[in-house]
Amino acid sequence: MSKRTVLTGARVVRPDGVHEGGRLTIEDRRIVQDAREEPGTLDLTGHWIVPGFVDMHVHGGGGASFSAGTAEEALTAAETHRRHGTTTMVASTVTGDLDDLARQAAVLGELSEQGELAGVHFEGPFISCQRRGAHDESLLRDPDPADVRKLLDAARGQARMVTLAPERPGGLESVRLLADNGVIAAVGHTDTDYAGTREAVEAGATVATHLFNAMPPLGHREPGPVVALLEDERVTVELINDGTHLHPAALQLAYRSAGPERVAFITDAMGAAGMSDGRYPLGPMEVEVRDGVARLVENGSIAGSTLTLDKAFRRAVTVDGIAVPDAVRALSTTPARLLGVDERTGSLEPGKDADLVVLDEEFGLAGVMRHGSWVVPPTAAA
């Protein structure tokens, strides 16, 4: 006997718009096309149902880190974000020794093969010393294509993205290598200029790692990477919508320039996501969290975030004035397409995995389903 769940009464956000009093039928782990009424139907009137969130840049959560090199820590981090609506996530590492990164990648690659994660993102060590942010300068290195290849191989075919500074020796060659191997080349933590960024995009770079952050600012005579990345329709821009990393006006500028089809809201969360203030590791660095803001103990640099995507969604629609269907694109549909997993997730369509988030009328989290099973049972069912 198949497991069957029917959700009714909510505003269901599908690719063609918002369906008032909509109906969603789940059989086993997938959404199916079905209109039968039956016992056990769950009435979610007064709620929203949106696709599960997709985070393509997250370092940890729940006191755990994807850089710890153990499956236990990685699963703790993943489960933390699932409880906040992220049903698909790529595990991001931070700059480390190349051999250590390879060992981490092997663990994360295996979890990706098992379906726990959607792949591996290497943020560093191939980044700029001048724009390193919360990365250990002593471990940074040029993006030699042989070193890039070593990390790709270590990830067991599960590498999804590499963030690098294209101005460093080997940068453009590595961008081409990544593009040729179906891995996203992301421009980030870079000190390059407008022309250098355009070169990287022509070589195959398709993502801007947390646009504005860890790159030269926009200038009227030196537009820098921000303009080059925003103006090119081949590039998707990551934005950290936590109210700390970006001024609301900067976020609106980027959002209006790129639109929901080219914006992916990310968390860039470290281990403190879902936790209280205190001290936490970030790779080889130590971070102190105060009032929810993470900074390096050593120099006070912002060190990732404590954001979860349910909060990013709520902020997008209640503070930034982004329409709900557009917020869905930026938190689910667009990153799913970029990661190549849109055939199974990222929208609420028959045949796709039943990955969904239930929100209350004020867009607070009220339930999470992943692969047809409740991670967080909806409050309306109590």
pLDDT digits (tens, 9 = 90+) for 310-336: 999 999 999 999 999 999 999 999 999
Ligand-binding site membership of 304 (annotated):
yes
Ligand-binding site membership of 134 (annotated):
yes
Strands (E), 142-220: 159-164, 184-187, 207-208
Q: Select which of 191, 268, 310, 355 is catalytic.
A: 268
The answer to whether the beta carbons of residues 24 and 88 sit under 8 Å apart is no
Say yes or no to pLDDT of 35 above 80. Answer: no
Ligand-binding site membership of 213 (annotated):
yes
What is the domain-level CATH number for residue 264? 3.20.20.140
Whether residue 267 sits in one domain with residue 355: no
Whether residue 285 sits in one domain with residue 222: yes
CA 166 to each of CA 253, 258, 314: distance values in angstroms, whole numbers, following the listed order = 24, 22, 34
**Whole domain around residue 244: which residue ranges?**
53-339
Total length of the chain = 382
Whether residue 236 sits in one domain with residue 314: yes
Ligand-binding site membership of 123 (annotated):
yes
**Active site includes 268?**
yes
Share of the chain above pLDDT 70, in %: 97
Whether residue 275 sits in one domain with residue 153: yes
- Give me the mean pLDDT over the 245-263 stretch: 95
Which strand (E) or helix (H) includes residue 224?
helix 224-231
Whether residue 302 sits in one domain with residue 251: yes
Q: Find, among 298, 132, 135, the residue nearest to 215 by Cα.
A: 132
Whether residue 31 sits in one domain with residue 176: no
Whether residue 80 sits in one domain with residue 170: yes
For the record, the structure tokens of 25 come out as 């039928």
What is the domain-level CATH number for residue 16? 2.30.40.10
Whether residue 157 sits in one domain with residue 57: yes
Residues forming beta bridges with residue 161, ordered by sequence position? 121, 184
pTM: 0.95
Say yes or no to pLDDT of 301 above 90. Answer: no
Q: Find, among 214, 238, 74, 82, the residue nearest to 158 by Cα.
A: 74
- What local confidence, expressed as pLDDT, does residue 33 receive? 86
pLDDT, the chain, mean? 94
Whether residue 228 sits in one domain with residue 170: yes
Ligand-binding site membership of 59 (annotated):
no
The answer to whether the beta carbons of residues 255 and 263 sit under 8 Å apart is yes
Whether residue 175 sits in one domain with residue 31: no
Chain centroid, CA 279 distance in Å: 23
Whether residue 129 sits in one domain with residue 241: yes
Whether residue 91 sits in one domain with residue 40: no
Whose tokens are 């009435």? That residue is: 43
Q: What is the pLDDT of residues 81-124, one digit of tens each?
A: 999 999 999 999 999 999 999 999 999 999 999 999 999 999 99
Q: How many domains does the chain have?
A: 2
